[in-house]
Amino acid sequence: MARNRYDMDEILEDSFDAGQLKRLAGYVSPYRKKMAGVLALMLTSSALTMVIPIFFQRIMDVYIPQKNMRGIVLMSVLTFFVALYSAVSLRVKIKTMSTIGQNIIHALRSDIFCHLQKLPFSYYDDRPHGKIQVRVVNYVNSLSDLLSNGIINTITDLCNLFFILIFMFLCDARLALVCLCGLPLLTLIILFIKRKQRLAWQIQSNKQSNLNAYIAESINGIRVTQSFVREHENTDIFNRLSYGYRKAWMRAVMFNFTMGPSVDIISAITTSFIYVLGIRWILAPDATLTVGTLILFTAYISRFWTPINTLASFYNSLLTAISYLERIFETIDEPVLVRDAPDAVPMPPIAGTVEFQDVCFSYEKGCRILDHINFTAGKGETYAIVGPTGAGKSTIVNLISRFYNVDCGRILIDGIDISGVTIRSLRTQMGIMMQDSFIFAGTIMENIRYGNREATDEQVIKAAKTVCAHEFISQMENGYYTEVNERGSRLSAGQRQLISFARALLADPRILILDEATSSIDTETELLLQKGLNELLKGRTSFIIAHRLSTIKNADCILYVDRGGILERGTHEELLAQRGEYYHLYLSQFDFLA
C-alpha cells in the first residue's frame, strides 16, 4: 500500500471541511467563560483606544489655536491612562490565552496519543512510524498560535472594524466611502488564492510527513546502513525529500505572504486618494474639512487596515490549520478494530485450557493465513508451534492474546469466548515475549518491572535469576539500576531477550507465550535457562514458537503449521515416528549442526 512508503504522499481532501473546525470548537468549549472575559477586556480596550484620535483632533483644532496648555495636558493624561489600560489588557490576554491554547494543545495531543495506544497491530503494520509521530508532535504544535492568539484576535479585530467604521462615518462619510472602495479588490484576491493556498499547505504537510518518516527509518536502521555502506545513497534520498519539503513550504508561504502585501498596497492606494481629496477639501474656498479632522481620519484609516491585515493572517493560519486538523482527526477517527464488546465482562481467573474452534484469519481480505484451525491445549500443558517462515505461527499466539480479531470461528479459554471479555482482564493474566525484544529507555529494573508495577526488587531479581539474566546484570556498573538506552542499544541481542524473558515471567501469568524466546541466546545459556523454565512452566499453559527444535522436545504437544492449517500434531517422538514434515525439519537441523 502507498502509505507504507516514506516517499508516497497521503491522499488529500478535495473540499474545505468546516466540520473540522466544529470538532476543534469542542476542545475550545470548556474555556469559553475565560475567553469571554478576555474578549470583554479586549473590546473595552479597543473601544477606549478609538477615542485617542479624537483627543488629537481636539488638540489640533481647539487647544493649540487657543494656546490652552491645560487642555493639552488633560488630553495627554487621558491618552496615557487609555494606553496603560490597553497595555494591561494585552498582558492579561497574552497570559490567559497562552495558557488556554496550551491546554487545548495538551488535550488534542493526549487524545491522539491515547487513541494510538488502543489501535491494533495492523494499524502500525501499515504505516511508517515517522508519519504517525509527525501528527502527534509537529501537526499539533502547528495549531498553537491559532488557538493562543488567532481566535480572540479575530473576534476583537472584527469588533474593532465595526467600531472604526462607526467613527469613520461619524467623522466624514465621504472619506469613509473612499476607504471602503479597496475592499472589493481585496475580496477578489482572497477568492483567487483560497483553494491554491489550502492545497499548497496540504502538499507541504505531506512532504513534511515523508521527510519525518524517512528520518525515523534511517535512525532505526543506522546499523544496517553502515554495514552495507549506504550512507551516500541515504543522504541523496534525504536531500531529495528535504528539497521536496523546502519547495512545498516555499510555495505555501508564497501564498501566505501574498495577503499581507495585497492589504498594504490597497491600503496605500486608498490612503493616497484620501490625502489628495482631504487636502483639496481643506484648501477649498468653503473649507469643508479641517486639518484636525484629516489627521483624525488618517489615524482611523491606518487602524482600519491593521485588523484587516490581521484577519488576512488569521485566514492564512486557518487554512494551514485545516490541513493539519484533517490529519489529526483522521488519526483520532481511525477505527479501533480490536476493542471490548459492548457487553464485555472481566475475564475470571484463568485456569489455562485454550481451545481453537474452526478459527480462520487473514491480514488482507481474500488471503487467509489460518484456515479452520482446531486444537485444545489443556491446563498446564506446553504446546510448541513449528513450521516454515510465514506459516502463521506468530499469528496463532497473537490471536490468543487478541491482538487481532478472528475472521470466523472462536477461541475459548476455560470455555469462555475471549471476544466477550475485556481485553485488559485477558492480557493481564498472560505473559508474552515477542520476537522483537523491545527495551525501553530507563533502568534494567524498570524494564523488568514493566509488566508488573507492583513487583518488589526481590521479585524482579528472582525473575532475572530464573532466566539466567542475573549474572550479566550484576556485572554492569550499577547493576539493576544501570540505565539502558532506547531499544537497549548498549545490550547484546541475547541480553535483551533475557531481560524481556524476565519481564514476561514477572507478570506471573497463567498463560505464557514465548515467540522465538531463545533465538538470540547462546547454547550454553539456553541449557541453563531451560532448567529454570521447566520449573516455571509447571502449572501454566504455555505456547512456545521456536526454530531450534532442541528447545521443544519436552513439549506436551507439537503443532506443525503450514499452508494455513495444522499438518501434524503430537509429541516429539510421535512426530518423528510419522516421518512427515516435522521429521524432515528435524533431520535438516541435525544435518546442519553436523
CATH of span 17-332: 1.20.1560.10
Q: Residue-wise pLDDT tens for the chain (594 aa)?
A: 344 455 555 554 545 566 777 888 888 889 888 888 888 888 888 888 878 878 887 888 788 888 888 888 998 899 899 889 989 988 888 888 888 888 888 888 888 888 888 887 778 777 777 777 778 877 787 777 677 767 777 777 777 788 788 878 887 788 888 878 877 887 787 777 766 777 787 788 778 878 877 887 777 777 677 767 778 888 888 888 888 889 888 888 887 777 777 777 887 888 888 888 888 888 777 767 777 777 777 777 777 777 777 777 677 677 777 777 878 888 888 888 888 888 899 999 999 899 999 999 998 887 888 999 999 999 989 999 998 888 888 899 989 989 888 999 999 999 999 999 999 899 888 888 776 677 887 888 988 888 788 888 998 998 888 878 888 888 888 889 988 876 666 787 778 878 887 887 887 788 988 887 666 566 666 666 666 566 667 778 989 887 777 778 888 999 999 988 999 999 999 999 998 888 888 887 665 444
What pLDDT is recorded for position 523?
67
DSSP 8-state class, residue 580: S
What pLDDT is recorded for position 6?
55
What pLDDT is recorded for position 415?
92
Q: How far apart are the first and last CA of the chain?
A: 43
Measure the CA–CA gap between 145 and 215, rounded to whole angstroms. 26
What pLDDT is recorded for position 5?
55
What pLDDT is recorded for position 16?
55
H-helix or E-strand spanning residue 89: helix 69-118
- Residue 544 in contact with residue 385, Cβ under 8 Å? yes
CA distance readout (Å), 312 to 141, 264, 373, 377, 387: 21, 11, 63, 68, 64
294-297 long-range contacts, CB within 8 A, separation 24+? 295/53, 295/56, 295/57, 295/60, 296/53, 296/54, 296/56, 296/57, 296/171, 297/168, 297/171, 297/172, 297/175
- Residue 38 in contact with residue 152, Cβ under 8 Å? yes
- Please give the CATH superfamily to which domain 350-429+511-521+541-594 belongs: P-loop containing nucleotide triphosphate hydrolases (3.40.50.300)
Q: Which CATH number fits domain 435-508: 3.40.47.10, 3.40.50.300, 3.40.50.150, 3.90.550.10?
A: 3.40.50.300
Residues of the chain with CATH 1.20.1560.10: 17-332
In which residue are the cell numbers 493572517 written?
313
What pLDDT is recorded for position 543?
92
What pLDDT is recorded for position 17?
65
What pLDDT is recorded for position 11?
52
DSSP 8-state class, residue 332: H
- Residue 163 in contact with residue 47, Cβ under 8 Å? yes
Report DSSP letters for 154-204, one per residue. Answer: HHHHHHHHHHHHHHHHHH-HHHHHHHHTTHHHHHHHHHHHHHHHHHHHHHH
DSSP 8-state class, residue 344: -
Measure the CA–CA gap between 108 and 137, rounded to whole angstroms. 10
What pLDDT is recorded for position 2?
41
What pLDDT is recorded for position 417?
94
- Residue 122 in contact with residue 363, Cβ under 8 Å? yes
Q: Please tell me whether residue 371 adopts helix, strand or coil conformation.
A: strand
- Residue 382 in contact with residue 554, Cβ under 8 Å? yes
